[in-house]
Amino acid sequence: MSEDEGRGATGPLDIGRVLAALPHRYPLLLVDRVEELILDRSIVAIKAVTMNEQFFQGHFPGRPIMPGVLQVEALAQAAGVLAVESLGLAGSGKLVYFMSIDGVKFRKPVEPGCLLRLEVEFVQKRSRVCKFAGKAMLDGEIATECEFTAMIADPPKA
């Protein structure tokens, strides 16, 4: 890997590092581990989709499917880990907020028992605004894909 391809590969990151990078907690934490992180470039994370997820109680009884909006949220959380780690913000309390979601496509249903592979890369990175492209993969096939923009911000004042 050349110097301009990123500052280096890291990973895997355990749940402790994920929790340090993200403010999300159960039941809305949708990243279980990070398999690979290339600073300033990309991340591959995993969401183990189990029947124990709260949303399966109502979406849909008898045919449980992970809501598409939560698949996009899982991609965004993976992007949040990428941004926080790349910008050296872990433990700073900074938050990563959605600004826009573009071109989202849902191609395959995500069901209990799946391992959802979250692949996200930077499209554009500035100090406070980042654009990402993401794919949620099931067994090597695209389940969900989109581009989205997020803003790095201070947490609300208490």
In order, the DSSP letters of 81-143 are HHHHHHTT-TTS--EEEEEEEEEEEE-S---TT-EEEEEEEEEEE-SSEEEEEEEEEETTEEE
Query: What pLDDT is attached to residue 7?
Result: 65
* Owner of token pair 């096939």: 141
Q: Kindly state whether residue 72 falls inside one of the protein's structural domains.
A: yes
Q: Provide the number of structural domains found in the chain.
A: 1
CATH label of the domain that carries residue 33: 3.10.129.10
Confirm if 34 and 20 have CB atoms less than 8 A apart. Answer: no
Active-site hit among 24, 33, 41, 59: 59
Token duo for residue 138: 């099931």
Q: Is residue 88 part of a domain?
A: yes
Active site residue 59: yes
Answer whether 0.85 is exceeded by the pTM. Answer: yes
Instruction: Provide block-wise average pLDDT over 10 residues at a time, the chain (158 residues).
Output: 55 88 92 96 97 92 95 97 92 90 97 97 93 98 98 88
Domain span at residue 61 reads 3-153
